[in-house]
Amino acid sequence: YLHDHTPKPVSDAEAVASAAVQCAQDMGAKAVIVLTTTGRSAGLVAKYKPTMPVFVCSKYPEVAKQSRTLYGTHGVLSDTVLTKVHSIIPHVQAYAKMLGNEIKNGDQVVFISRRPQRHPQDTQRLVFRTAVVGNPLGTVEMPESSYKGERTIFYRSTKVGLDTLLDLDKYQFVQRKTKIVCTMGPKCWSEDMIGQLLDAGMNVARLNFSHGDHEAHLQVLQRFRKVVAERGSHAACLLDTKGPEIRTAMLRGHEPILLEAGQSIVVEAVGDGYTEFEGYKEEGGETRIGLSYAKLCQSVRPGNTILLADGTISIEVEEILGERELRGRVMNSKKLGERKNCNLPGVKVDIPVLTAKDIDDLQNFCCKHKMDFVAASFVQSKEDVLFIRKVLDEAGGKTVRIISKIENQEGLKNFDEILEVTDGVMVARGDLGMEIPVEKVTLAQKYIVTRANIAGRFVICATQMLESMIEAYSPTRAEMTDVANAVFDGVDAVMLSGETANGAFPAQAVDTMARICRSAEIGVNYYQVFDFIRKFTAKPVGTVEAMVSTLAKSSNDIKPGMIVVFSEGGKVARMVSKYRSCVPVLVVTSNRELARHCQVMFGLYTMMLDKPVSSMSKMKDAVHDAIIFGQNAGLCVAGKEVVVLFSTMVTASGTEAAAERQMYITSCPGELEMSKLGTMQPLTARSREQGIDVAKTLSLRSTIIDLPMLFQSSTPVRKTKIIATIGPNSSTEEMIGRMMDEGMDVARFNMAIMSIDEIRPIVALVRKVAEEKKKTCAILVDTCGPRVRTCKLVDGPETRVPVESITLRKGQSVILAPHDPASPEPFHGWSTEKETRILVNLPDLGFQVGPKTQVLLADGTIRLEVTEVNGSEATAMVMNDALLKPYKSCNILGVQLNLPILNTRDRADLDAAVELEVDMVAASFVQSKSDLEYVREELASMGGSEMKLIAKIETIAALKELDGILEEADGVMIARGDLGTYITPEKVFLAQNMITTKANIQGKFVILARHCLQSMVNNPRPTRAEMTDVANAVLDGVHCVMLSAETAVGSFPAESVSTMSAILRNSEAATNYPTQHSFIRDVTAKPMTTEEGIAGAVAKAQLDGSSNLIVVITESARMADLIAKFKSCVPILVVTTDPKVAACTKIAFAQYPFLVPVLGNRSSLPKLVRRAVDFARDEKIYFGGAVTVVHGANEPNAEIEPVMQIWSEQDLKD
């Protein structure tokens, strides 16, 4: 408490003193010994109320006497105290014994003293050290802790402000701490491309031994090491084993067979003979296939599922026919080919973790060629890891670090014991999504990462992170958010697979990944991260961990430029990475293997020594050299503090035993330049010029996850709502009905691509289907808004024959020209041998851009950089190869355009929307509160004053004016597509985080839009990145998620809705609602209104009393909205007579409508409540238990003198 409420940054002396107290408490020290000439350091120690006695040792009697006035301190007088630190221990032991606190041999103590200075009274530069009484090695080793308990509580917090999003200068010197693993493949294994990957940010090269032979891999490894040596890099190499896999057998004639839903099938366990066995399907007869798993029939039982071909075919086991055969039923129709992969969810597969091929790969390649890491596939137990260790050690691979890939249920069940012996883990999201319900992968990722963080094991997140970049120059918004959330979760490294191995833009993929990671790290609340890891680490910890954890603490307290540690065996490096320092950590070592092992650990950079530092006389110079190295490498700016940890005897043992460890704070040589302080600089000149506020929005995300939650399908009532965009593929009566059945809450009509005449009949159809199904489905109209677009394309200025597209090449020069919509000149552009000319409908283009301005076309898929401005026109260079089609969006990065909120067409659309009595309108390109006031006035004049007004946040101006916009809007939509063309795309997720938190505190609903399940436009299943993106949005606090092209033009509209619904339900099941409620209540401005106070109490009472339904009787939904603000974990049934109120519950978190003819009076309230509860039971949103009822004191309406009651089941019966 004292530490948290002390203003930061603190002085260096106070940072050392508080770190010493923390270290003493974490390691269970018997005493803190303060060596001082002034007593100041003793006062700083006493401030933090250590639980053990503090002995203040001084040669000055007055200092020893004065210590008696300080909390927990005792004065010890000694003449030798300043020169011989360890000689004071006998004096302290004698004094402690007198007090009844005996200090024995083997007990740990913490010393605080000054470093040798010119002036003895200079106590600003303190040093603290640890020692073990009677132990010359100076350490006590404790078993490394793991996460205790079956339920894994996860906390992560972010701090985001406008300066975080908009001030590019402020963060130019921030170094990326999350590492990047790149898979080698044909598109990136040339020397030139390897060099490009290293320059872009690759830390580890992954060789996938599921493909290729030793000779081919050796050539890649040799090229990699050659390029690494030329660049002076410490990049590491990783071998990923093929592992024990199950494949389908051959088929007759090598032709695929069609498996049909409902048909019977015989599956035969043919073992190693799968390459010779031939399956078949006989017309009107038997269907038989083979699997390579010989013990199939001994492992599965009736009811188990067999998944084939990446999970696209499901077979349910019905009967075990014998030792080699079973009968199953096909669950879906799909063609099956040969050698397709197979997964057995929930089944312990009895196959060795290493096949004969894997053992050969490890011993005759990995060990032989001294690789750094091995990633072992399908690790299921501690014994698997020990077996891998034995195989490696026998072949001379003792320094090879083992990464256990967690990709099935057994690996999750035995995860804690695997952590005891593995060096690191990989979240293999691909196969893991086959072994557990795919929508649970996000929760499994958090479970694995959190427990690995507490255990101090590095963790890599893999599979489909930037999948779209295999073909596209830029990733989707969902993919960028997925990577960012992995950083927020606490991963040490992220991995690229096909993006670098086979992708069209390998170097761009790495560069994009690096920028996203760096941007995410800027938003991390490192105070909270350190606090979480320390609190959940079991105490006491060993000497090394106790000492090292103080480095991260001190970095939070004083915001130094860098941390420097000396390490040879690797434990210090691993521990300092565990505690997630907010600044770079320079690991100084002579161990080249350790330098490469640091390449997968968060925040670590390395400096090589010729040999370990073995004496104090050499340590001073070594520290100075390290600081200069860090300064030259851009890790630390001149004049900033540097936190140093070193030993007086650095050895190359596994425990790094030392006679004494010291931590102190010094400075980087040179004069401090404020412009280079980055995150430590309160306000840059750029911020002042642009009026950027540096205030931060804190957010908190918390989950509670256990293993049963990961393995079983969660069926809580879904509270997060789904908007589905209606388009050509979802406008039929049948498809609208299917989407409603799967969970569509709101039907959205995008006026940018549809006319009002087109939507009229579809709106009527939606209402007809809803009425027939006795459902409520709200209608939302999304305005086109003021958009800047490119022109119609023609073949040239003379002939002007229309063309479908023009080709743009990287490095090509293009002319951007303005076009005034009122001008008679044709709105045409072209690409000829002479010039490429593109017109945009922005008359003042020349005034809006300048050299180096980024112009984004076609939703950011085409990037141009302005090189010159000539009057009203601009010359720009194309940054990536692309095809430009007519009338594509044009955005100018970082520029606020002066455009009206409504154009002529928007007004006509709004007028028609009022006529159609739609429920809500989303206003595009809102830039201020006054914009919304104007739209409200227009709606009111048309008769639409009751419509909900949603502000789409998609510009810089909207971010700056967000607080005012939230005051006026009913809710906001995070329009990630356009927002990522006004701010740097890799910061969109930070903006998303800030917008969501602010909206939650204001009690306004927030909608997440753009690229949520984008891959489902063409595929029946989303990528892992998309599912993780949606799940994390729920945990962040969005009320509603939106499907756009997925339902409008996609091939699987209904499946998109059902998939979204499953992801939402499972994410909600893991949400830590008490923490969410406390956070929102704590940061809500006080005093609250009466309504808000009661709403908060209702939500809290529900959490405390565990009622299973909240019934709110209302005419306006105001009270229901306030209860939803405080994140109720149960459904809120809104009982109302107003159809508009009922419809608008479909966009609000946790709300469900119950439309009644009249509310009645106070005496009829019990009957109304029972009707409401019966309705909730019929709708399957209530399954029994207590019910919280909110109503008026003298009439049912809760808006008038609200009253809260909790009704038991017996009350409902009576």
Which helix or strand (DSSP H or E) is residue 258 part of? Answer: strand 257-259
Contact 531, 3 (CB under 8 A): no
Contact 943, 977 (CB under 8 A): no
Instruction: Name the CA dihedral angle for 445, 447, 453, 459, rounded to a multiple of 10 degrees.
Output: -30
In the numeric block, the tokens 């650990």 are attached to 601
Q: For residue 123, is pLDDT > 80?
A: no
Residues contacting 581, CB < 8 A, separation 6+: 526, 551, 552, 555, 563, 603
Residue type, 1083: V
Q: For residue 121, is pLDDT > 50?
A: no
- Which residues is 374 bridged to in the sheet? 239, 402
What is the reported pLDDT for 689? 47
Q: Residues 73-88: pLDDT tens digits?
A: 999 888 765 556 677 8
Per-residue pLDDT, averaged over 767-796, amounts to: 94
Per-residue pLDDT, averaged over 175-197, amounts to: 96
The two three-digit tokens of residue 1055, written as one number: 């499946």
Specify the higher pLDDT residue, 559 or 628.
628
Residue type, 646: F
Alpha helix stretches (DSSP H) within 490-542: 498-501, 506-523, 526-536
* Gap between the Cα atoms of 424 and 430, Å rounded: 18
Cα–Cα–Cα angle for 808, 813, 817, rounded to 5 degrees: 95
**pLDDT band at residue 335 under the 50/70/90 scheme:** very high
The two three-digit tokens of residue 942, written as one number: 């048309």
Q: Residues 914-954: pLDDT tens digits?
A: 999 999 999 999 999 999 999 999 999 999 999 999 999 99
Q: For residue 129, is pLDDT > 90?
A: no
- Phi and psi dihedrals of 506, rounded to 5? -60, -50
Least trusted range by pLDDT, from 253-257, 699-703, 940-944, 1030-1034: 699-703
The DSSP symbol for 366 reads I
Q: Residues 839-869: pLDDT tens digits?
A: 998 888 998 899 999 899 987 889 999 999 9
Q: What distances in angstroms separate CA 339 from CA 248, 286, 534, 747, 1160, one per listed residue?
A: 5, 20, 48, 43, 68
Q: Residues 651-708: pLDDT tens digits?
A: 334 344 335 678 888 889 888 876 666 555 544 444 444 445 567 888 888 999 988 8
Specify the higher pLDDT residue, 116 or 879.
879
**pLDDT band at residue 795 under the 50/70/90 scheme:** very high
Per-residue pLDDT, averaged over 470-490, amounts to: 93
What is the reported pLDDT for 34? 92
Q: Of all residues in the chain, what percent carry a pLDDT higher than 70? A: 95
* Gap between the Cα atoms of 584 and 582, Å rounded: 7
Q: Residues 1168-1198: pLDDT tens digits?
A: 999 999 999 999 999 999 999 999 988 999 9
Report the relative pairing of strands 108-114 and 126-132 from DSSP bridges: antiparallel
Report the relative pairing of strands 948-953 and 585-589 from DSSP bridges: unpaired
Residue type, 931: D
Instruction: Name the CA dihedral angle for 362, 199, 461, 696, rounded to a multiple of 10 degrees.
Output: 160
* Gap between the Cα atoms of 1144 and 1120, Å rounded: 11
**Helix, coil or strand: residue 682:** coil
* Gap between the Cα atoms of 959 and 942, Å rounded: 29
Residues contacting 888, CB < 8 A, separation 6+: 789, 790, 857, 858, 859, 862
Query: Which is nearest to 15 in space by CA: 550, 539, 792?
Result: 550
Per-residue pLDDT, averaged over 384-408, amounts to: 97
Query: Which is nearest to 653 in space by CA: 728, 554, 544, 579?
Result: 544
Q: In sequence order, what E strands does 31-176 have?
A: 31-35, 54-58, 73-77, 108-114, 126-132, 152-161
What is the reported pLDDT for 501? 95
* Gap between the Cα atoms of 360 and 371, Å rounded: 14
What is the reported pLDDT for 118? 46
What rounded mean pLDDT belongs to the chain? 90
The DSSP symbol for 621 reads H
Q: Residues 2-33: pLDDT tens digits?
A: 888 888 888 888 989 999 999 999 989 999 99
In the numeric block, the tokens 């698997």 are attached to 384
Count the residues in the chain: 1214
Q: What distances in angstroms separate CA 658 from CA 134, 585, 615, one per listed residue?
A: 13, 21, 11
* Gap between the Cα atoms of 206 and 787, Å rounded: 44
Q: For residue 984, is pLDDT > 90?
A: no
In the numeric block, the tokens 């002319």 are attached to 815
Cα–Cα–Cα angle for 278, 284, 290, rounded to 5 degrees: 20
What is the reported pLDDT for 383? 97
Per-residue pLDDT, averaged over 1123-1150, amounts to: 95
The CA R_g of the chain, rounded to the nearest whole Å, is 32
**pLDDT band at residue 246 under the 50/70/90 scheme:** very high
Contact 861, 879 (CB under 8 A): no
What is the reported pLDDT for 804? 92
Residue type, 419: L
Q: Whole-prediction pTM value?
A: 0.89
Per-residue pLDDT, averaged over 582-607, amounts to: 96
**Helix, coil or strand: residue 77:** strand
Instruction: Please count the other Cβ atoms lying within 10 Å of the Cβ belonging to residue 898.
Output: 9
Least trusted range by pLDDT, from 456-460, 560-564, 1096-1100, 1149-1153: 1096-1100
HEC sequence for 749-779: EECCCCCHHHHHHHHHHHHHHHHHCCCCCEE
| Domains assigned to the chain | 1-140 (3.40.1380.20), 171-243+352-524 (3.20.20.60), 246-343 (2.40.33.10), 530-677 (3.40.1380.20), 709-785+899-1071 (3.20.20.60), 792-893 (2.40.33.10), 1074-1213 (3.40.1380.20)
Contact 111, 86 (CB under 8 A): no
Per-residue pLDDT, averaged over 1083-1096, amounts to: 88
* Gap between the Cα atoms of 289 and 256, Å rounded: 11
Per-residue pLDDT, averaged over 224-232, amounts to: 97
Per-residue pLDDT, averaged over 347-356, amounts to: 92
Per-residue pLDDT, averaged over 585-611, amounts to: 96
User: Which residues does the annotation mark as catalytic?
Assistant: 206, 247, 405, 463
**pLDDT band at residue 474 under the 50/70/90 scheme:** confident
Q: At what angle do helices 526-536 and 441-455 cross, to 10 degrees?
A: 70
**Helix, coil or strand: residue 434:** helix
Q: For residue 522, is pLDDT > 70?
A: yes
